[in-house]
Amino acid sequence: EPVRDLAFHPDGRMLAVAGESAVTLWDTTSGNVLNTIQGHEGPINSLAFSRDGAYLATASDDSTARIWQIPSGELVLALAGHNGAVLDVAFNGDGSRLATGGVDKTARLWDAETGQILRTIQGHTAAVTAVTFSPGDQFLTTASKDSTIQINPLNTLEELLSQARKQLVRGLTAAECLQFRHGDACLTETEDGTPPRDIFP
């Protein structure tokens, strides 16, 4: 079956590989399968380890994101809220929050311990294809098929007092991934090979 995404465990000794309906955990030293995680009812689009390696988050066409305990593969939370496929997932730095993006044009911020939706981020006019937290978790940035990048302050007071720091960046082709570097600079990569651009909050 096709490989849809992969991620290294933070210690480098495990590789998670997403397939059509399951995640396979591989030992990177021996090449042996450590575990197979099943539970989604559709293809798995994205996966991400928490920074401490204790949890793995997955996003699926079945409209859910899920959090699994590692290495047991035990389901911790099933997060339902998106209307349609969930395309990307990302943990914040301490693993207490999970961000998701979906075909319903929204990103969602979840409490990774309780499963509560903390915020629904709107503003995109097409599917949200990528989500990432800035270092220090001050911002959640989203990329969309609508060719925009949205930078969302996560500090409520800052959001109220400084809406100017929330930017919609236009003139890009649809972005497929996001990555922060050097603190506040956000690097975008597009699906058509357009050279990466730095976006500053």
Flag whether pLDDT at 16 surpasses 80: yes
Structure tokens given for 80: 């339902």
Q: What is the pLDDT of residues 153-187, one digit of tens each?
A: 987 554 444 444 444 455 555 555 555 555 555 55
Q: What is the pLDDT of residue 155?
A: 73
Residue 177: the pLDDT is 56
Sign of CA pseudo-dihedral 47, 175, 51, 123: negative
Is 133's pLDDT higher than 70? Answer: yes
Query: What pTM was estimated for this model as a whole?
Result: 0.78
Percent of the chain with pLDDT over 70: 77
Whole-Å CA distances, 88 to 4, 65, 143, 155, 162: 11, 9, 10, 22, 27
* Distance, first Cα to last Cα, the chain: 40
Do 128 and 141 touch, CB atoms closer than 8 A? no
Produce one character per residue of 160-187: b if its CB has 16 or more CB atoms within 10 Å, e if not: eeeeebbbebeebebbbbbebeeebebe
Q: Where do the domains of the chain lie? A: 1-82+113-122
Identify the weakest region by mean pLDDT among 53-62, 91-100, 155-164: 155-164
Choose which CATH entry (3.40.190.10, 3.40.50.300, 3.40.50.12160, 2.40.10.480) describes domain 1-82+113-122. 2.40.10.480
Two tokens, residue 136: 């220090």
Quote the distance between the C-alpha of residue 27 and its chain's center. 23
